[in-house]
Structure 1
Amino acid sequence: MPKAIHPIAGAIAFITIVGFWLSTAISELFMGAQVVTTVKIMIPWGFFILLPALMAVGGSGFRLAKKMRGPLVTAKKKRMPFIAANGILILIPSALYLSYKAQAGALDAAFYAVQAVELIAGAVNIALLGLNMRDGLRLTCLCWDR
């Protein structure tokens, strides 16, 4: 079962995070304050999709990794603490703060400073998650070769 859950939950989480990042970047670069406000208010609601997907991918990945060894598994395990810490310590609090500020209509310097940090931290997580997906696909291909 974890073999089926892991890639599906991982894809859902990855697509959700990329969606958050792209909607933020596009609204900031090309849309007005009303769209930015709407995007920032809606992102925390996306946590109802993202957090269960992350729990499923984390749990299934942990279970799958118990049975596997090798450099790809080791690399994935080493990235996970950074991905999790980035999400818990930077991305979630930033999203909640930005939603609060957007609801208050306070798109001020503090809003944009946190927004910049969130975009950078989000890009880092997208890159790390992408590397984990790549390595996961390589592991799957290795299993098919056996």
Structure 2
Amino acid sequence: MSKAFHPITGALALLTILTFWVSTLVSEVFGSPTTVVAVKTFIPWGFLLLVPALMATGGSGFALARQRSDRLVDVKRRRMPVIAMNGLLILMPAALFLAFKVQAGELDAVFYAVQVLELVAGAVNIALLGLNMRDGLRVTGRLRHAPA
């Protein structure tokens, strides 16, 4: 497996999640209800790109990590279950629920409560994936450690 595969799939996954998050925020703050419906309907279709990207990133990361046992690799390993559980237990069900609600024309208090939960959980995953990317760049020497 190419050493470029892991960072490319990781960047693709992070950019996909960022696209979902920013699109949601922009549509909610500046968009019309029609825009909100379009964004919330599109996001579950984006799982067709996101899920394989995350699986490829996780699989290639575990394969690469077998060869290493330093602190940053261990930190990345510990973050991954949190990222995965947040995605599987909060983000994906929320996205599917919100898509269902907008298709039914129900932009009610429940919709917005779940929307806030999704934005918070999404921000957590973006932060954790960003930290994993930073640490991956440090492991490979592409990014220097900050001075203590």
TM-score by length of 1: 0.95
Contact 1:2/1:61 (<8 A) preserved = no
The DSSP-based 3-state class of the residue aligned with 1:3 is coil
Taking the TM superposition and a 5 Å limit, the aligned residue runs for 1:32-71 are 32-71=32-71
Amino acid at match of 2:45: W
Contact 1:83/1:125 (<8 A) preserved = yes
Superimposed CA distance per residue, residues 83-110 of structure 1 (whole angstroms, 9 cap, x where no aligned partner): 0000000000000000000111100000
What is the alpha-carbon distance in structure 1 between the residues aligned to residue 3 and residue 52 of structure 2?
A: 17
What is the alpha-carbon distance in structure 1 between the residues aligned to residue 141 and residue 56 of structure 2?
A: 22
Does 2:100 correspond to 1:100?
yes
2:120 maps to 120
What is the alpha-carbon distance in structure 2 between the residues aligned to residue 2 and residue 44 of structure 1?
A: 30
What is the alpha-carbon distance in structure 2 between the residues aligned to residue 66 and residue 131 of structure 1?
A: 20
Amino acid at match of 2:53: A
Structure 1 runs, 4 residues or longer, greater than 2 Å off = none
Shift of 1:2: 4.8
Q: CA RMSD in A?
A: 0.9
TM-score by length of 2: 0.94
The DSSP-based 3-state class of the residue aligned with 1:96 is helix
1:91 maps to 91
The DSSP-based 3-state class of the residue aligned with 1:141 is coil
What is the alpha-carbon distance in structure 2 between the residues aligned to residue 77 and residue 134 of structure 1?
A: 14
What is the alpha-carbon distance in structure 2 between the residues aligned to residue 84 and residue 125 of structure 1?
A: 9
Amino acid at match of 1:54: L
Number of residues of Structure 1 aligned to a counterpart in Structure 2: 142
Shift of 1:4: 2.0
**Ranges in structure 2 where 5+ consecutive residues have no aligned partner:** 143-148
Amino acid at match of 1:141: G
Higher helix share: 1
